Amino acid sequence: MRSSRNVVKRPTMSHQGASGRLRYFFGRAMTNIRQNLFVNAVTVGTITLALLIVALFMLLVVNLENAAESWSERVQVTVYFDRDLASQEQADLQRRIQTLPGTAKVTWVSRDEAFRRFKMRLKGQDTLLEGVRPDILPTSFEIALKRNNRSSEAVEAYVSRLKTLPGIGEIQYGEEWVRRFNTFLTFMRLVGALVGGFLLVPVIFIVSNTIRLTIYARRDELEVMSLVGATRLFIKMPFLIEGLLQGVAGGLLSLLLLVLFYQLFLHNAGNFLTFNPASSGLAFLPVEFMVALVLAGALLGFLGSLTSLRRFMADN
């Protein structure tokens, strides 16, 4: 080269830097969106719908879990004895149960107390009990379990330990239905995951195709950019951002719809699930789930855009 004058000193982007470039990419993405408003709206709508379905499932599962928890608050083990215990024996047994890991509280239920409760149950029909002697009912211990011992496995384990103590007769706890309910819960989670999984593919496909339309509309520009030396990342970036924005918009919108849906229909329903007057109605999604929903949207948009760019870049 005869002179060095033509070697351009590339100006540094010192006062704009990465943020300046990011602003450029965002500007391009916004232009793309504005020029393909309808297609973008359709994509956002699709993402919204898919996420809404998944979110409704999440809402259902969350509430079922809440219900399961409030039921297990009442999980209580009742222990009867294989014979009449002397008071000393009974105090020993109570102490041993108390030291068993998982025990929160052990209460002695006397014959009188048991009879009193029975009478409460039959309120209004006490006449039925005329002539029945109060010592007909057996004495028992009522054991409340510690919080983290209330899962069905933990309860089973606890009960089998309890059985090894001397003097223990019948043990009652809600084993069967607790297990069934947990199975049901697992099933619902699985269905939710499956539905989400099945929705994932078509949604990515749709996002990918809308982005492909915007790419197609701009193919001349992309060709020129590539010919004047743009890196692949530089060319892709606005489209990735476009997909990301679509996804976030879809996520937020589905959240909004979920809130509306919840306010209109759900939050007064479902008292029957919890039996708990303090927490009437269905709960809304916890914050982590809301964040996850929006992130899932962003991921969907990003992946959709990435797959269409892959195809496009491979052809060019």
Partner 1 sequence: MIQFHAVSLAYQQDATALQNISCRVTKGEFVFLTGPSGAGKTTMLRLIYGALTPTRGQVLIDGQNISRYRRSQLPLLRRSIGVVFQDFKLLQNRTVFENVAITLEVLGWDRGDIGRRVMHILRQMGMESKIHLIPQRLSGGEQQRVALARALVNSPKILLADEPTGNLDDANKQQIMNIFKEANVKGTTVVVATHDRRLIEHAHYRTIRLLGGELAGHEGVGDAVIP
Single-letter amino acid code for the residue at 115: F
User: Dihedral of CA 204/210/211/212: which sign?
Assistant: positive
The reply to whether 3 sits near partner 1 by the rule CB under 8 A is yes
d(CA 150, CA 96): 20
Give yes or no for residue 228 binding partner 1 (CB under 8 A).
yes
Binding segment (CB under 8 A) for partner 1, from list 6-14, 61-69, 114-122, 155-163: 6-14
For position 37 contacting partner 1 by CB under 8 A, the verdict is no
| Residue whose CB is less far from partner 1, 234 or 289 | 234
* Residue 154 · residue 20 · CB < 8 Å: no
Query: Helix, strand, coil proportions of the chain in percent (round to 5)?
Result: 70, 10, 20
Among 20, 138, 166, 286, binds partner 1 (CB under 8 A): 20
Q: Which stretch binds partner 1 (CB under 8 A): 13-21, 157-165, 254-262, 287-295?
A: 13-21
Question: What's the closest the beta carbon of residue 16 comes to partner 1, in angstroms?
Answer: 5
Which CB atom, from 5 or from 123, has the smaller least distance to partner 1? Answer: 5
Task: Tell the smallest beta-carbon distance from residue 315 to partner 1 (Å).
Answer: 14
Binding mask 232-271 for partner 1 (x = CB under 8 A): x-x-------------------------------------
Radius of gyration of the chain measured on its C-alpha atoms: 33
Q: With CB under 8 A as the rule, give the number of residues binding partner 1.
A: 29
Q: What is the DSSP letter of 110?
A: -
Rule CB under 8 A: say whether 19 interacts with partner 1: no
How many beta carbons lie within 10 A of that of residue 182, not counting itself?
Answer: 15
Which strands make up the sheet holding 140-145, listed edge to edge? 103-109, 140-145, 76-81, 168-172
